[in-house]
Amino acid sequence: MVLVGQVNKEVVGYLNQHGGKAVGLCGKDGSLLLSKKLLQEVPGEDGTVEQVDIGYVGDVVKVNTDLIKTLEQGGYLPVIAPVGVGPEGESYNINADVVAGRVAAALNAEKLILLTDTPGVLDKDKKLIQKISVAQMHGLITDESITGGMIPKVVCCAEALNDGVKKAHIIDGRMEHSILLEIFTDVGIGTEITK
């Protein structure tokens, strides 16, 4: 209820106040985000891996792009809350970065831009990495340069790139004009991830 009924509607309201034609959606609308329950893998003491049910947390199985394309043709901006629909109509909370990456891939988007509250992907010395390949990214996860909440962001970027998105960016959404600065300057202000 918070994601769909409050946060989504606030974002839509702000966009419309500033001249946009935003429409709020969630994955249940038009079966936009078909989903399945996500089970957490937990290592057992004996070295086995156990699948643990963590509640109504899901993963995207398929993105139905028809509704997005229809809205786009009318000049509307879809704002999608990361709530998917399961096979029995159940609601699943899904990581917003995962949803963004899967929607971008399903639409064959030119770019995926994730806004966050850090400058981008940082190295072990907390310095911004301006450009990184998927192979380099995996190495930085392995050596624990990339940790915590940045891991799902870079992983979803890698998946989107593998599924046809041309470029992915992780930038600081707190910076004024951050998207314009990332796209229209030679170096950018965040991290660009490429194949």
Query: CATH code at 83?
Result: 3.40.1160.10
Is residue 139 within a helix (H) or strand (E), and if so which, with residue range?
A: helix 134-142
- 87-113 pLDDT, tens digit each: 999 999 999 999 999 999 999 999 999
* Single residue among 64, 94, 124 that ends a domain in this structure: 94
Residues in Cβ contact with 90 at an 8 Å cutoff, skipping those fewer than 6 apart: 56
Range of the domain at 103: 95-195
- 112-129 pLDDT, tens digit each: 999 999 999 998 899 999
Same domain, 70 and 124: no
According to the model, what pLDDT value does residue 141 have? 93
Burial class (CB in 10 A: 0-12, 13-18, 19+), 113: buried
Query: Per-residue pLDDT for the chain (195 aa), expressed as one digit of tens each?
Result: 788 889 999 999 999 999 999 999 999 999 999 999 999 888 888 888 888 899 999 999 999 999 999 999 999 999 999 999 999 999 999 999 999 999 999 999 999 999 999 999 998 899 999 999 999 999 999 999 999 999 999 999 999 999 999 999 999 999 999 999 999 988 889 999 999
Q: What angle do CA 35, 82, 169 make, to 5 degrees?
A: 110
Is the CB of residue 159 less than 8 Å from the CB of residue 177?
no
User: Can you give the pTM of this predicted structure?
Assistant: 0.90
Residues in Cβ contact with 108 at an 8 Å cutoff, skipping those fewer than 6 apart: 164, 165
* Single residue among 70, 94, 118 that ends a domain in this structure: 94
Same domain, 173 and 109: yes
Q: How far apart are CA 190 and CA 169, in angstroms?
A: 7
Same domain, 74 and 110: no
Into how many domains does the chain fold? Answer: 2
Same domain, 109 and 127: yes
Same domain, 116 and 74: no
